[in-house]
Chains A and B, each alone.
Chain A
Amino acid sequence: DTEVTQTPKHLVMGMTNKKSLKCEQHMGHRAMYWYKQKAKKPPELMFVYSYEKLSINESVPSRFSPECPNSSLLNLHLHALQPEDSALYLCASSQDPVAPLGSLSYNEQFFGPGTRLTVL
């Protein structure tokens, strides 16, 4: 199984709603990532989990709350979002977040298909 799955595919929510995005991988990867991508822009890193611990938070507003319940699952909890938060949210995983030079393949990130989020 070399797939990263994300649910839901599409999500429409109001500014007062609470929702969660889910991501799952069964490749035994120990690093998982959340990215936000706006149209015609590159993926923008939000969070990195390394061995189930949050290792990078790219100054993301607190209305986005990540959670890593176990090594296969990554959630992104959403609350009180703004319309400008509408974007494609991508999850990714890689084998080892800090692999040495001799194990370069460990650095390749496998991306999920994303959740298209619209905030009304």
Chain B
Amino acid sequence: DQQVKQNSPSLSVQEGRISILNCDYTNSMFDYFLWYKKYPAEGPTFLISISSIKDKNEDGRFTVFLNKSAKHLSLHIVPSQPGDSAVYFCAARILNTNAGKSTFGDGTTLTVKP
């Protein structure tokens, strides 16, 4: 049972436009969500997070939206840049339990075309 799903394996966007990456989860106990970015031959890098008490968190060009009733979150990148081309992983946690365990989605490969 995959508790965190990223249904789009890939996304291609023109430079300067908005990239929207989606993530769905099934476990209503998740209360903290993270996005990681991964370049080839490197480990994932933390990008942005949101707790379940918020519905939006913004950091520069990156905004994460959380819709708890739909169990859905999305990452918006505006404007998209070629350097944003990478694999993006959504992850979910239940805080204060499981000693730091995060459940990851399968990832979405973003390609930003110049």
**A interface residues, Cβ below 8 angstroms from B:** 4, 6, 31, 33, 40-45, 48, 50, 55-56, 90-92, 94, 97-101, 104, 107-114
Q: Are A90 and B43 in contact (CB under 8 A)?
A: yes
Q: How far does the alpha carbon of A80 sit from the alpha carbon of B19 in the complex, in Å?
A: 44
Tell me if A98 and B104 are in contact (CB < 8 A). Answer: no
- Chain B interface extent, by class: 20 to 34
Partner of B104, one of A40, A43, A114: A43
Identify which of residues 40-68 in chain B touch chain A, using a CB-to-CB cut-off of 8 Å. Answer: 41-46, 49, 51, 53
Residues of B within 8 A of A104 (CB): 32, 49, 51
| Residue in contact with B100 in the complex, picked from A4, A101, A107, A111, CB distance below 8 Å | A107
Residue B96 at the chain A interface, CB threshold 8 Å = yes
B69 adjacent to chain A (CB < 8 Å): no
**Top 8 closest pairs, chain A to chain B, by CB:** A111-B43, A42-B104, A97-B100, A55-B99, A97-B99, A108-B46, A50-B99, A31-B100
B interface residues (Cβ-Cβ under 8 A, vs A): 31-32, 34, 36, 41-46, 49, 51, 53, 89, 93, 95-102, 104-107
The residue of chain A having its C-beta at the shortest distance from the C-beta of B105 within the complex is A42
Question: Once A and B bind, how many residue pairs between them come within 8 Å at the CB atom?
Answer: 81
Residues from chain B with Cβ under 8 Å of A90 in the complex: 43-44
Please indicate the chain B residues that have their CB under 8 angstroms from the CB of A110 in the complex. 46
CB-based nearest A residue for B9: A40
Bound CA span A118–B39, Å: 20
Least Cβ distance of B107 to chain A in Å?
6
Return the chain B residue nearest A110 by Cβ: B46
Chain A residues in 8 Å Cβ range of B102: 45, 109
Residues from chain B with Cβ under 8 Å of A31 in the complex: 99-100
Determine how close the nearest CB of chain A comes to the CB of B62; give it in whole angstroms: 14
List A contacts of B97 (CB < 8 A): 98
Residues of B within 8 A of A99 (CB): 95-96
Residues of A within 8 A of B32 (CB): 104, 107
CB–CB B100/A98 < 8 A: yes
Q: A48-B100, A97-B99, A111-B43 are in contact. List 18 more A-B contacts (CB 8 A).
A: A40-B107, A42-B89, A42-B105, A43-B44, A43-B89, A97-B100, A104-B49, A107-B32, A107-B34, A107-B93, A107-B95, A107-B100, A108-B46, A109-B34, A109-B44, A110-B46, A113-B41, A114-B42
